[in-house]
Structure 1
């Protein structure tokens, strides 16, 4: 009986493997036949079935793609499984993609992770370019992310920064996980601004966000072979994502229910200082019928998770990298602290308006975003076939602009691997999407709507951290042996948390 069962299982396994190979080969033959009729950009050598996937075996795609671009040029064609992928690594071609062909290449690539965790692409960041996306992007910008609204959240930033400083002061002289403290700080600001209060399950949501951002990066086997339908059902990542989605639902459903309960009592809002938060706005618009495209509870949850992820992950990543670079560059740290401490000397209270005068601090943030863009690979997808730099970009092809590579290209930057904030002095280069060698917030129709919110959440707390504390690396660690590698995922978060020792700064008092 055992022998018979073993034979049966072995035969079933062989049939399963044969089915996979047969399905993949059919897909490869079909897509390979299309290559002959397209004037595609140059590409490396490829293998049957998997195409160019073997060229992506390095730990970080943006680094692998930069290395390939040095050999095959600033516009490259890769076949990652069945998926056409066009990689852009020059500012001239990036400008064509993000301006001339912006509308044609305005979609987002599909990913099993994004589909599950962001409610069938009904958020803003990963939604396809359509009427729904335009509607919801406008709602979020007007109701939460406008410059006026960002300024109105000043009291939240000041309050949470005060909590952050006190938390670090209570651990004076001890080794602290600064990355973790920044994550909690940023999530608290986002929660209070978007949801009107701190979330009871904030730490759980942060955990889901970190795992989700890693799993939803589009590097699952099913993402590379979309025509092989059964792969979507057997991938291990999908089971993890579905489990996370159920847990995410349980948290977000509570947020919505609590807001509905408060509104049912006759109150007009849940937000701080009596204003509406984003959940109030979405529920009001959902029930009023004012929207051209009606929305559901799942749509509301997609936007909620989007706002929390975007407001927390991106700002944390940028601030964490900035502190890490300051620790690696004592000269820059000393110069920044001298500017800040001179500007704040004698002030009992430091306002956000005081920070606006700190020119060198702004240069540091710009340089940090050049060397460590929050999203190393800008993802787009082609809505209709078009021609870029003389090459055909097929419909539904992924189009990836390597922001990380652009920021480190010696053609555009002097000594690009050196952290040198002074490079942004007396230059017109800005991160507003018009200088295509430097687009940390993207460009065109899908320019990051949360840029002002993110910068406001970085500048003031960073100035406070540098003013109130002198910082040291852990015993035995030097600036030269710090681990500065990134995690695999949508965002370019540091792989290892930043542990530092903070000693309170004692300003000199005259007399």
Structure 2
């Protein structure tokens, strides 16, 4: 890449000092930065080195891209098959070792495009996603009833995170398999759902630790790798049992020449796609079923916290829900479209509590970012989160203000590439519409039934475990509305 006048070389990109073989890992091993607070380390990197920062974790070089203008440049440089780095290198390795389909998140190029094209109609079109609205609402109603039963005399719910995890698994299972899994029904099925939720958390926690260590686990079976394998094996084995049971029902219906019209829509659609192998069908279903445990579940907890700690916002959201939905038993797609303030609450919550630390990309062409050359094949972490509390980008940045996202002059002034929690372009999260529908339905259902109060004197904080999860129990009080 020939340098133009005034452009600095890739080698000149600033960042912390590097040691041969280990790069910057020593900064996380010996106390300057904390793996559990990696999101705070990223903010420190930005404050110390500016809008473009180099970080080396072992032999992996990552360029942190902080400036929204640079992020826009990256997105606009992409072709029809943007390349990404896997969220979980460990899960990709697990699937490779087990000869599994790698799925959307672990593939690039034409292989990714093949899978994406196959699921576009089912997962990315609002009308198809709205088909599952009654399923999602049924589970949401059961969750509200569950809260009613589980809360003690003063309205507090023991281990709310685990309860929300069961809701997430039950809702996703109903969508994928059109069958209730019993995650909130007590007995053996509920015990299994708890164990699966814990295993999923373990996968993300250990994967985060391994990201900040030399990759010895790729060559020898280290203690952490063995612990991760146990969690992966348990989680995948049980999820696969649900998937195979659903496939068996579909095959049975077909063999008996029964019409599947209006039944098992997700499964039958995937099975109808000639370009998908059975391994592809299984891993796509597996991803839709499981991904919400690490994304939608913490997002709901963050939304409840923001509503509870901003009672005037909560009241306004409640009034909108009552005006739009009232006491109707069935929530429609039109109702959801009219919940503009609640949608703004969800978006503002992503600003206060992002679920991820970055959106990853691998550059497919030479770029100039913040005056530096960035060659093809560079691993880029797009990290606008450092600006979410900046007055430069958000007026009254420390105030939880959903109104900023409702069409007005202020929204028009917000940089369009600063808030993209689901990514951007053709590599937008495939489950985005399902996640948003889940959040709008469950929040509406909870608001209609309860007033929510936060009962912990300490503010909610986040901990890095590959994604960002609540750091400790989320203590809420659910007060029935008269």
Q: TM-score, normalised by structure 2?
A: 0.83
Given candidates 207, 210, 220, the residue that maps to 1:220 is 210
2:226 is aligned to: 239
Deviates more, 1:398-407 or 1:156-165: 398-407
1:98 is aligned to: 75
Q: List per-residue Cα deviations over 1:99-138 (Å, max 9, x = no partner).
A: 1246796222485412245556844452231222112122
Say if 2:112 is the partner of 1:133.
yes
Partners of 1:167 and 1:314 in 2: how far apart?
Answer: 22
Partners of 1:382 and 1:81 in 2: how far apart?
Answer: 20
1:249 CA drift (Å) = 4.2
1:387-426 equivalences in 2 (<5 Å): 387-394=368-375, 396-426=377-407
1:72 CA drift (Å) = 0.9
Given candidates 315, 319, 323, the residue that maps to 2:300 is 319
Query: 1:50 aligns to what SS in structure 2?
Result: coil
Q: List per-residue Cα deviations over 1:27-51 (Å, max 9, x = no partner).
A: xxxxxxxxx9844422233334322
Partners of 1:463 and 1:66 in 2: how far apart?
Answer: 34
1:255-270 equivalences in 2 (<5 Å): 255-267=242-254
Unpaired segments ≥5 residues, structure 2: 1-7, 182-188
Given candidates 37, 42, 48, the residue that maps to 1:65 is 42
Q: Tell me if structure 2 keeps the 8 A contact 1:91–1:406.
A: no
Q: Cα 1:247–1:119, aligned 2, differ >3 Å: closer, same or farther? A: farther
Q: Cα 1:309–1:430, aligned 2, differ >3 Å: closer, same or farther? A: farther
Partners of 1:261 and 1:399 in 2: how far apart?
Answer: 42
Q: Tell me if structure 1 keeps the 8 A contact 2:243–2:286.
A: no
Q: Cα 1:149–1:380, aligned 2, differ >3 Å: closer, same or farther? A: same
1:360 CA drift (Å) = 2.3
1:285-434 equivalences in 2 (<5 Å): 285=273, 290-291=274-275, 295-297=277-279, 299-344=280-325, 347-349=327-329, 351-352=331-332, 353-383=334-364, 386-394=367-375, 396-427=377-408
Q: Which has the larger radius of gyration?
A: 1
Deviates more, 1:119-128 or 1:493-502: 119-128
CA RMSD after TM alignment: 3.3
Q: Cα 1:376–1:125, aligned 2, differ >3 Å: closer, same or farther? A: farther
Q: TM-score, normalised by structure 1?
A: 0.78
Partners of 1:272 and 1:378 in 2: how far apart?
Answer: 38
1:350 CA drift (Å) = 5.3
